Structures are given as structure tokens and as C-alpha cells.
Structure 1
Amino acid sequence: MSADAPRADVADVADDVVVGADVVAAEVGPAAAASTAPGWWQRVRTWPWWVHVLLVWAASRLLGVAAFVWTATFQRENHWTGANPSYQEFVGLLYDAGWYQQIAEGGYPSELPRDDQGLVQQNPWAFFPLFPMLVRALMTVTGGSWMVVAPTVALLLSAGAMLVVHEAVRQGAPRAVAARPGLPLATVALVCAFPTAPVLQVAYTESAALLLIASALLLLVRRQYAWAALVVVLLGFTRAVALPMAVVVVVHAAVRWWRARRGTDGETFGWRDGVGLTGLAAAAGVSGIAWPAICGWVTGVPDGYLQTQEAWRGVREVVPFSGWTYVPQFWLGDWGTPVMVAGFALTAAILLVPAAWRLGPELHAWSAAYLLYILAVIEPGSSLARFLLLAFPLGAATAGVVLRPAWARRAWFTAVLVLMLGLQVLWVRQMWEFNPGGDWPP
């Protein structure tokens, strides 16, 4: 299919999203669509797929700008900015953005800071270097300031991420796309509308991580293992999420081997495939431990990275799943356990619904492995909502829950979209207005 040709996903999702237009389901056929939709809408529908992706992305980011500007009017003077900061100050300086700025302008310390008891304090080693170093390079070339360059880089990376997310779903989930025409663009829309998606225009690493994760999955689906290995190595210097990608590689290899053994669709699995996938899995594993190893080597403290992470936790230890034994009760009291169980049940349901199983093995495996990974390694808190953004295939599963009739599919998609956009504004308003009396970052 030509990149410039009209595509079913554009027609279907555009019809689902646009309110007030003559919505036309893809199932009614092009002839009926042509007879009911206005001429200007028909022209829009014939634009290239990537234009539609960027239009969805741009509209969502404009909403993010409005939410940040509105919230900034309530902002009081704080550690990072004065009262009522500008949009650029708000998205370029607050919270973790300040740590990344410190890295870009001053690098990492050779010694870990400690308090009077010898405990490691919060320091830049908790934050990975690829994003701040990229911004630093662009600052050097352009002469721009961190406050301007960093959010701009994050914004542009998020645009690239949406394009790759679209293609990862289109090529990686053919059964799901066949069952739900328009799924790739629907996924982009739901990812852009996710409650924490405004972080994609903030000087954080979510944009870079999302771009690299989607790229790794797309390259894996395309069986371009050498390029996928390069992307996975870059991911290991962006966020601490490379290890679950190794699980995805193993699942991909197992599925290929099984299909080849059964002769499914003419599948083959030779020694070159085995070598390539072994190398890719090894790259993911090494990438997952490279930054902690570098931290230990530079600072002379082998577990310096873990000690640094402990400085951000309520209990100074990093034990898998341990945070879930005390944090929910701390925040919610007697409601902690019921809320936690309900959250786990909802997550399991999203992974187990038929729409999730229709995803390709790579996309489904990433969602499951990544969610299990973050449940194991993080201390639950406000950052958890940001981390969930990287499980983008769950957007495809959500969009594909209701398939027919067409009116029900449109109603479901519209309801989810509107709910997420409302929560997005609420998230910015509640989490990004810094209270000088508190110190818990979003």
C-alpha cells in the first residue's frame, strides 16, 4: 500500500473521533462513505496516514499546553521557578527536569553525596544520560538554553514516537487491525489522550523512551535484529526498562520456532535467526545493567545506583514488590488493600481480554513483561501513572474491546477518549502545581 493512499485506519478512526460530522463506519464501504461525508472531510481522509497521526498528536499537545498554562496561573514561588511561571519554565524546569538540567550542564558526580549517617542522598545518578546529553549537544550547536531546547526536543521526540507507535500496531498486530479497522490511529489517539501524556512535552525522558520502545518492537516484528539491538542499547541509557525487552525477544524467538516447527504460513527458523535473536537478547540484558555498572565503576561503589534509588524510597531498600506491602496503606489507610486489588484486577483484565490476545505476540509480551517489571521494581506512587504511558499496546487493546456494531464501537471509543482527556487536564492541575510545603514529585 502506498504511503500516500487513503487507508482504512484513517477513515475509521477519523469517523470515530470527529464529533458533529457525519460519522461513517468503515464497514459501510467507500461508496456509502463518499455519499454521506462532506467534501472537505473526504479530502482530509485522503491525506497520508502520517499527516493524520501528526494532526492527532498536535491537537493533544495543544491541549497539554492549555492545561500547563492554566495550572501555571495558580503556581506559587518554589525551588525551581517564581510565581506564575511561563509555559517554557513550567515544562522545562520543574521536578525531574531540574535533575536533567543539572546533568546536561554539569554531568555526574564522581562521588555519591552522603548525609551524616553515611546514607546516600538523592543525586543525578538516578537519571539516565541519553536525553540530557542529547539536549546538551543541541544546546551547544544552537546556543539555546535548557529551558527552550529540552522541552522542544521532548516534544519532537514524541511526534516521532506517535508515528512509530502507529506502524508498530499496524505491522505488529495484523489480527487486531483486521478485527478493528482503524486500530493503529485509534491507538495513537488513546496514547496521546492518556492522562499522563502531557509529560511528552516536558523535559522528561518519556518521549525518548516511548520512541525507542516502539522502534524496538517494530524492528523486532520486521526481523531487523541488528537495528533492534542498537535501539535496545540506546534504551538502556534512556530509562531502566531494557530488561523486559529481553523477555519480548525470547517470546518472539519461541513463537517463530514453534511456527516453523508446525510449518505455519511457511515460517522458517534457521541458525542465522537463532544467532541474531541470541545477540539481541544479550544486548537487552547487558543494556539493562549497563548504567548501574557504570555508576558503580565511576563512583567506586558497586551498588551505588541501588543506593541512589533507595534515597527516593520511603523504606531504604530495593526488594522486588516490597513497596506494595506498605505504600497503599500509607496513602489510603484501610482502603489501600481493596484499591490495590482492584487495580491489579483491572490490569489483568486489560491483558487478558480477547482484544489483547489479538495483538501480536511482541506487543502483548511487552505489555505483560513491562507491567510486571514496574510492579516489581518501583515503589508505588504518583510516578506510576507516568510509567504506564510506555505500555502503549494497552491502548490498542482498549480500542479493540468493542468491535461491533459500529455505533457501539464509536460510542466506546469516544467515551474512553473523553474520559482520558478530562483526566489529563486533572492530572496536570493536581500534580504539577507545586506545593512548597511538600516534596513529592510527579
Structure 2
Amino acid sequence: MSEVREVDEPTSEPTTPTTAGAWAWMVSRPWWVQVLAVYATARLFTTVVFLWVASVQEQNPWTAEHPGYFPYVGFMFDGSWYRTVAETGYPAELPRDENGLVQQNAWAFFPLFPMLARGLMQLTGGSWEVVAPLLALVLGAGAVLAIHQTVVRGAPRAVAARPGLPLASVALVSVFPTAAVLQVAYTEALALLLIASALLLLIRREYAWMALVVVALGFTRAVALPMAAVVVVHAAVRWWSARRGTDTWTWRTGVGLGALTVLAAASGFLWPAICGWATGVPDGYLQTQEAWRGVREVAPFGGWFYVPEFWFQSRALLVVTLSFALVIAVLVVPAAWRLGNELHAWAAAYIVYIAAVVEPGSSLARFLLLAFPLAAVTAGVVTRPPAARRWWFGAVVVLMLGLQVLWVRQMWHANPVADWPP
């Protein structure tokens, strides 16, 4: 693809020679250099935040007090579970308490990221706390490159309304409050790369390559199921366009997209099936997930009844109603409809999916990072005049950076007495 100069609109005159030189360098670079520069700047900011929070961290189950950067981003919370998978694999039997209830165990954590880290550890001789966060950092770089091209190819109307939208979307993903996990030993970076790549391949109609990516996604996170809905939307739009004479459709197209839909759905059940086969407990994965829940039951949308009541008591219904209204509003504003069908469908299907299967607790904000098309919606809400676009975009960036500092300080910082995982 030719080089794309897609930087958000600059001010008319940079205020200092240093700023002018930096801006001139930026706009003269290829699109991928611009993307990586934005991503690197955001990750440098997050690194400083992590170092600050680590400096006030007390001793906890994962690290000593005041840990260094790599132990802090490599061992904390789920990072130690992924380390267990990388170093010892999965238990042959599910651990149970005296009442026979399945306890928290490694089967809740998907294998692709820790296995990639294990391969690099064996290849380089590096330790988990160094290899895993650096692997996530590199995967995150690949993810933002894929996101940029997905917006370019998948949202032509939105890009026409705001030419700087692809890079602006990358920037908002990079500074999202929970984007800090793109440089820790978590799977979000890999999942984001695979999701963006799958959508890009679908938009390009490279269905065979997408099938491989979707299978990989099934070994990364429990998010493959909504991708099946996106394939259905893509197929329906293509079929309807063929009926109107603006596209092509053959029986091979129908069979191929049907198979891709089935594969995406099957990929969503692949890891639970493997867990059931390996442990001899057909619903072992489901029972393992229940071990992390406040109520040992996984029912669609069930968590939205008891978790908000815990946090907000009598105001729970109001908070839930307003939250759902905000999400619906984001999905129906003009900036959302300007997205391509695949990006819009992913944002909607993924949000409905996580609302159905995830307990709305402290990790929910982290899961929202994978709904990356909403960054394009946010950046594209204001399209004119240019000055308003700049002020809107700048305000959102500052707000997200502030919330990222708050998230790392409040959520990543481990309270030795009682805590909620990020």
C-alpha cells in the first residue's frame, strides 16, 4: 500500500522551533512510522506511571515492596497465572476444596500467549518477567499497525469525513485508560492484534487467512464467538449488494463464508472443549470460571443483577440503565454509522457478548480495550470545523491519560489487605 499521510489536523503555526521540527518530521514519515511513534510515546508515558506506582507498592503476593519495572509488569495478578502456564502447563485434574467445588486454576487462562513467551524464553534464555512484557509490547505495536489499516480499509466514509481518523484512532487506543496492559504479561496485546487482523482480512476478503487468525484467537481469549456475528453481517451485506448488482456472489462465496462462520463459532468453544477433554470434566472450564465469580453461577447477563447492587445499592438500576444507554448512544451516533459494516458489527457484537458473559467487575474496563472501533467513533464525533476537531481530540487524549494514571494507581497497585484485580 502506498504511504499515507494521515496525521490529525495540526495547529496553523507550531509554537516553538522544537515543536515545528518534531511536527515536520512526523508528517514527512510513512504511515507506519507515524503509528509506531504514537504508540511508543504512549507506552513511554505508561512506563513512567508504572515506575511511579511501583515506587509506592507495598509487599504483596506477587512482588516485594518497591519492585523494579519488569517484576511489576511481569508477575502481578494474571501475569503469574500465565507464567505458571508457560513454565508448568495445566493441571491434569481440577483442584477442588473440601466441598468439591473447583478452585481457581490455570485452565482459565488461554495458552497461545504464554506458549509464545515460553518459546522465546527457551530461544533467548530470558526470564518470564522480561520476555513476557516485551513480547506484549511488540504484539501491541503490531496491533496498532493493524488497527490503522483496518480503519483505512474498513471505514472509508469515516476517513473521508475526517482524514486523520486512522492515526487518531491509534492514538486513542494507545492512551486508553487500560492500554497499560499492552506492556504487561497479559493477553490483551495478542488478542487486539488478532482481532484487528481478522477484521482487516475479512474486509480484504482474504477468508482463508482470516480462518487461521480466528483459530489462533480461540487459543488466546474467549472472544471468538462475536467474530462469527461479524462474518454473518459481512456475508449478508455482500449478498444484498450482489442482488443489487454492485458486488459478486457465487455458491463458492456462500459456502466459504458459511464455513468461516461455523469456524469462528467453533473457535469460541475450542478451549473449553479441550479443558473438558483433558481434565475429564466436560464443563470444567465453566466451573473454573465460576471460581472467580462472586456468585458461583455463569448465566447470560446474570452479573448485572447482583454486582451493581453490591457497588451502588439502591442506585444500581439507575447506574445500569445509564451505562447501557451510553453504550447504545455510542453505537448509534453518526460517527458509528460512518464506520464500515465489519467495524461497526464487531463493536456492537463484542459489547453485547461481554455484557452477557462477563461479571461487570473491576476487569470490565480492561475488556473494553478490544472494542477498538469505538476509538474511531470517539475521534470522529466532531468532523468540522478543524479547530473544533483539534480541541475535541486533545481534550479526549488528556482525559484518557489522566484516567490511565488513575487506573494504574488504583487498580494495578496491589493492596496487601484486600483488593480487586485489574
- Equivalent in the alignment of 1:427: 407
Q: Give per-residue Cα distances to partners, 1:195-239, cap 9 Å, x unaligned.
A: 000010000000000000000000000000000000000000000
Output the aligned Cα RMSD.
1.6
| Partner in structure 1 of residue 287 of structure 2 | 307
The whole-number CA distance in structure 2 between the counterparts of 1:259 and 1:14 is: 35
Q: Say yes or no: does 1:254 pair with 2:249.
A: no
How far, CA to CA, are the matches of 2:309 and 2:14 in structure 1?
Answer: 42
1:399 match: 379
Fraction of identical pairs, as percent: 67
Once the 2 structures are TM-superposed, how far is the Cα of residue 272 of structure 1 from its aligned partner? 2.0
Matching residue's letter, 1:149: V
User: Aligned letter for 2:337?
Assistant: W
- Find the aligned partners of 1:439 and 1:315 in 2 and give their Cα distance: 17
Count of residue pairs the alignment pairs up: 421
Deviations 1:94-140 (A, max 9, x none): 00000000000000001000000000000000000000011001101
Runs of 4+ in 1 over 4 A off after TM superposition: 16-22, 37-40
State whether structure 2 residue 290 is matched by structure 1 residue 295: no
Alpha-carbon distance in 1 for matches of 2:324, 2:236:
27
Match of 2:84 among 72, 80, 102: 102
Aligned letter for 1:54? L
**1:436 CA displacement:** 1.0
Deviation at 1:41, TM superposition (A): 3.3
Show the counterpart of 2:56: 74
Q: Please tell me the residue identity of whatever aligns with 1:291.
A: W
Q: Write the letter of the residue equivalent to 1:170.
A: V
Task: Show the counterpart of 1:58.
Answer: 40
Inter-partner Cα distance in structure 2 for 1:408 and 1:321: 39
Alpha-carbon distance, 1:274 to partner: 1.3
**The one of 228, 251, 269 aligned to 1:271:** 251
TM-aligned CA deviation for residue 279 of structure 1: 1.8
In structure 2, the gaps of 5 or more residues are none
CA deviations over 1:153-194 (Å, ceiling 9, x no partner): 000000000000000000000011001111100000000011
Match of 2:139 among 139, 157, 179: 157
1:118 matched to 2:113? The reply is: no
| Cross-structure match for 2:306 | 326
Counterpart in 1 of 2:10? 15
Select the residue among 183, 191, 194 that pairs with 2:165. 183
Answer yes or no: is 1:218 the counterpart of 2:213: no
Aligned pair in 2 of structure 1 residues 132, 19: CA closer, same or farther (>3 Å)?
farther
Shift of 1:21: 6.4
2:416 alignment counterpart: 436
Q: What is the one-letter code of the residue matched to 2:383?
A: L
* AA of the residue aligned to 1:150: A
Mapping 1:369-384, distance limit 5 Å: 369-384=349-364
What amino acid does structure 2 have at the position aligned with 1:293? A
TM-score, scaled to structure 2:
0.97
Correspondence list, 1:133-152, <5 A:
133-152=115-134
Please report how far the alpha carbon of residue 42 of structure 1 lies from its aligned counterpart in structure 2 after TM superposition.
3.1
Alignment partner of 1:358 out of 334, 338, 358: 338
TM-aligned CA deviation for residue 40 of structure 1: 5.9
Equivalent in 196, 202, 209 of residue 227 of structure 1: 209
Return the match for 1:345 from 318, 325, 328: 325
Q: What do the CA deviations read for 1:52-93 (whole angstroms, capped 9, x no partner)?
A: 000000000001101110001111111110000001011000
Aligned-partner SS, 1:128: coil
Q: Contact 1:16/1:413 (CA < 8 Å) preserved in 2?
A: no
What displacement does 1:336 show?
Answer: 2.1
Shift of the 325–300 alpha-carbon distance from structure 1 to 2, 3 Å rule, reads same
Return 5+ residue gaps in structure 1 as ranges: 23-36
Note if contact 1:16-1:414 (Cα within 8 Å) is conserved in structure 2. no
